[in-house]
Amino acid sequence: MILRMLLVVAAAALLAGCGGGDGGEKRVDKVSSCLKKAYGDFVSTDRTDLDPIGAQSKDGAVTVSTASQQANISLHKTVAVAEEALKLYRAGRTPPKKVERHGTAVVAYTANPTAQEERTIGACVQES
């Protein structure tokens, strides 16, 4: 339990300390805009709507509520930081039903996504 907590704290510090600057906001806007085409007002980049890991990402995050679940997308500048976010999601108290890395983005689903949700969200993340 203590080891898990140390891992979470260390990874959170890494996520909070990396990134920011040029490109992050534009990437968030691109992902958000793409998702809004499919899910309308059920897409948010507001920190109060994001999960704790997404809220800590200096490179931005997006959350989308679908008919069956919520998908949290955290964006990162490097694959190494995305891998740390992936570890954080998996080590959490209530890990997501499915979590996957798309390059430097991590998508965490609160329930198993439908094939359509996975295609739509994956395409928006890949476009960014």
> Is residue 70 a contact partner of residue 91, using CB atoms and an 8 Å limit?
no
Which residues neighbour 53 within 8 Å (Cβ) at sequence distance 6 or greater? 12, 15, 61, 72, 74, 85, 88, 89, 92, 106, 108
Per-residue pLDDT in tens (0 to 9) along the chain, 128 residues: 443 443 444 444 444 444 444 456 799 999 999 999 999 999 999 999 999 999 999 999 999 999 889 999 999 999 999 999 999 999 988 889 999 999 999 999 999 999 999 999 999 998 77
pLDDT of residue 128: 72
Distance CA 44, CA 65 (A): 9
Distance CA 124, CA 20 (A): 21
Q: Classify residue 116 as left (phi > 0), alpha (psi -120 to 50) or beta.
A: alpha
111 DSSP assignment: S
Two tokens, residue 45: 């980049």
Two tokens, residue 110: 């609160």
Distance CA 50, CA 96 (A): 14
pLDDT of residue 94: 82
